[in-house]
Structure formats: structure tokens, C-alpha cells
Amino acid sequence: MYRMSRTYYQLRRLHFRNTIKAWLRGIDKALLAFAGVLPIGILAVLAVFVLVQAEALRTLLRAEAPIEQRLAVIVAWQFVTFVLLRALREAVLMPKARAFFSSLPIRSSFELQSDFTFALQGYSLLWAPLGWVAYTTQTIQAWLSLGVLVVASLCANLALLRARPWHSLPALAALLTLALPPRPPILFGAAAVAGLALWRSYLPGSVRAAKPSRAGALAERLSIRSGLALPFLAHDLRSNVLVRLGFIAATLAACLLITTLRTHDAAGTRSLVFVGAVAAVTLYPLPSLWRSALLTRLHFLAGQADFVRRIRPSVYGIPALLFGGALLVAACFDAGESAPATPAIFGTLFVAGVVAARCGVQMASWLMPLSSFVAVLILGGIL
């Protein structure tokens, strides 16, 4: 029993690492490249953003803080953590293999331990403001309040993501008790209630079997016309695409934030340049990844010419639309600060990256970030 549970945890850890690695394929090198080209102002804004989060969390530690402010901090924390874990659900919870693992003699405690461990890792950057508050406060009561905040929100999020909404209600109620003045008995009681509710959600028979929903006629026609590419994207590559779009959105948010805080006589951040570069680097591997995954999973259809023809518009058209949409949104906030040739340059880089990835050119994994890096240096007015 122990050996099987140990193997289960190792499989979960391997799945977590490989999934994150697949999501970040083509993005990791870009992050290293853009770290050296981002203006120091943007890096300062990111540091200020962490400090603002830390100051908001510090509100929970002040007994004199109004209850409205404390509730606002709790609701904001719960919303951010749920969205983050929902985007990382495939890596953290491994939902597609749940039915198989449930047939094996694996204790619920080991399953809960694995989910809790990888969900804590999924909080990622949110540990920065938590760590800053814990370091600067250095009191047992403050550490206890922050610990209960993390535990209660994590219990509620795991119950919600595992489709146990009724079991999440006690955890959410325990989370709201943090709006009261921090007292150790209340904090320990809230943590106990949230933990017990989460544990009960892992017991057998905690949820009824859901009836499979029947897709509409329009969805079925689109699925057939796309050669099953659209349902594959919606189920298997959804998290991958959301992570890549999250990087683009974060880049745009950083540009807008530095634009808001800059002085009137300072140079613009040229959001179209930075968003175009990140969009090109993050989205160019998507058509090749999507196509290869379809041909691998549906290998019994891969030899049919009609199948390859049907998947082509979706495989290449949707990433192109996402890239064009990212440029269009960035252009709305750019205020004409970027050069007129910026969309054409990054559009060319995107098309070249798609072609190189489709042809299996290995150097595209480092040539695309390097080309985008040089383009940002030139178009961003840094050189």
C-alpha cells in the first residue's frame, strides 16, 4: 500500500513538472531575454505591485482595521488564488486520470496530500507578498493569521475545483471569519473547519456521478468540420493556451501600470512593442504543438487526407486570430507611441516562427526569442 502510494505521488510530481514544462515551451527563453530588455521602471513597478499586495495582506493583521477593508482583502485573495489554480488545474490536480486512480487501492489521505502539495506550489508568485509580510512582521499571531488564510483558501479552492461546491461552503465560511479581529481560538477553529470540510470531500461517496452532457447541434457540426480540432483544444490544450495568454495579459498590464505611474515628460512604454514580442514568442509554437498532438492522439485518422485538411483552418487560424487580437488590444492602449511598422515586423516574426516550428527547425526555440529581443531593442528605442 505504501509503495503504491509513493509511486502515485511520484507520478503526480512527474506530471506536474512535465505539464508546466510543456506550457512554458518557447516562453522560458523569452523570459530570460526580456528580463534584460525591460526598462528598470517596469521592474520597479513589479516590485511596487508586490509591496502593494503585502500591504493589503497586512490589513488582516491590524485589529483596528475596518471590517469592510478586511473583507475586501479576503475576497480579493480568494478570487486571485482560485483563478490561478483554475488555470493550473491540469498540472495541479491531474483531473483526466482521476477515474483511473480511483480504481486503485490508494488511500484518500495520500490523494489529499498530493493535491495539497502541488496546489501550494501552484500559488507560485503569491508567496512573495506572503513571505514579505511574514518576514517584516515576525510575530506568532501574524504567522498564524497568514497560515490560516492560505489553508482556508486552499481548502475552498480544492473543493471547488474538484466539483464539491457543498464541501467548499464551510471552508469559505471559515475564510470569512478572518475578517474578525485576529484571535488564536478563532483562527484555530477556522483552520479546523476548513480542513475537516476538505477531508470529507475526499471520502468515498462525497459526490454523485455526473450525467454526461450532450453537445448542441452547432457544437457537433463545428467539431466535425474542424476534424475534432476544436473539442481537442477546449479539453486538452485549454490550460496551455490560457497560460500563454496569461503571459501576454501580464505584459500588457505591466505596460499600462508603468504608463500610469510615469511622469508627463517621460518617454512612453510602447506597449505594442512589448506585447507584440511576447505574443509572437508565446503563440508561435501553438500550431505545431496542436497539430502534432492531434496526429498523435488521433493516429487512426492521421492517414486520411481529408482529416489533415479539416484541422488546418483551426490549427493555424485560431493562433493567428489570438496573435492579431493581442496586437489589436495593445494598439488601443499604445496611443501611437510605437513605430507604424511594429505590427508588420512582429507579424512576420510570428509567421516565420510558425513555419520553422512546422518544419521541425530546432534553432527556432532560441532564434525566435533572440529575434524578438533584437526587435524590442530597436523598436522600443532602447538602442
CA distance 22 to 211: 32
Q: Are residues 197 and 221 in the same domain?
A: no
CA distance 145 to 57: 10
- Does the structure show a pLDDT above 60 at 10? yes
pLDDT at 383: 45
Looking at the chain, the whole-number percentage of residues with pLDDT higher than 70 is: 79
Three cell numbers written together for 173: 465560511
Q: Are residues 186 and 228 in the same domain?
A: no
CA distance 134 to 205: 39
Q: What is the mean pLDDT of residues 101-130?
A: 80
Q: Are residues 197 and 345 in the same domain?
A: no
Q: Are residues 167 and 132 in the same domain?
A: yes
What ranges make up the beta strands (E) of the chain?
A: none
- Does the structure show a pLDDT above 70 at 42? no
Q: Is the Cα torsion angle 122, 113, 8, 101 positive or negative in sign?
A: negative
- Does the structure show a pLDDT above 60 at 162? yes
Mean pLDDT of the chain: 77
pLDDT at 121: 85
- Does the structure show a pLDDT above 70 at 372? yes
Which strand (E) or helix (H) includes residue 313?
helix 305-334
Does residue 159 belong to any structural domain of this protein?
yes
- Does the structure show a pLDDT above 50 at 357? yes
Q: Are residues 150 and 258 in the same domain?
A: no
Cα 94 versus chain centre, distance: 15
Q: What is the mean pLDDT of residues 298-315?
A: 75
- Does the structure show a pLDDT above 80 at 360? yes
Cα 211 versus chain centre, distance: 29
From 172, 201, 230, give the residue that closes a domain. Answer: 201
* pTM over cut 0.85: no
Q: Are residues 264 and 172 in the same domain?
A: no
Q: Are residues 63 and 196 in the same domain?
A: yes
Does residue 6 belong to any structural domain of this protein?
no
| C-beta separation of 166 from 91 below 8 A | no
CA distance 181 to 177: 9
89 backbone φψ class: left, alpha, beta (φ>0; ψ -120 to 50): alpha
CA distance 56 to 80: 13
Q: What is the mean pLDDT of residues 313-340?
A: 85
Does residue 238 belong to any structural domain of this protein?
yes
Q: Which of 54-58, 239-243, 270-274, 304-308 has the highest mean pLDDT?
A: 270-274
pLDDT band at 91 (very low <50, low <70, confident <90, very high): confident
From 158, 177, 201, give the residue that closes a domain. Answer: 201
Q: What is the mean pLDDT of residues 189-214?
A: 73
- Does the structure show a pLDDT above 50 at 41? no
Q: Are residues 222 and 371 in the same domain?
A: yes
Q: What is the mean pLDDT of residues 180-192?
A: 83
- Does the structure show a pLDDT above 50 at 182? yes
Q: Are residues 299 and 152 in the same domain?
A: no
How many CB atoms neighbour CB 153 within 10 A?
Answer: 27
Q: Are residues 223 and 173 in the same domain?
A: no
Lowest mean pLDDT among 21-25, 165-169, 171-175: 21-25
Q: What is the mean pLDDT of residues 65-84?
A: 83
How many CB atoms neighbour CB 267 within 10 A?
Answer: 11
pLDDT at 5: 61
Structural domain of 240? 217-379
Cβ-proximal residues to 345 (8 Å cutoff; 6+ apart), any chain = 276, 375, 379
Q: Are residues 65 and 197 in the same domain?
A: yes
pLDDT band at 323 (very low <50, low <70, confident <90, very high): very high
pLDDT at 374: 80
pLDDT band at 266 (very low <50, low <70, confident <90, very high): very low
From 175, 201, 227, give the residue that closes a domain. Answer: 201
Domains contained in the chain, number = 2
Helix (H, G, I), strand (E, B) or coil at 70: helix
Q: Are residues 288 and 315 in the same domain?
A: yes
- Does the structure show a pLDDT above 70 at 2? no
Q: What is the mean pLDDT of residues 305-314?
A: 79
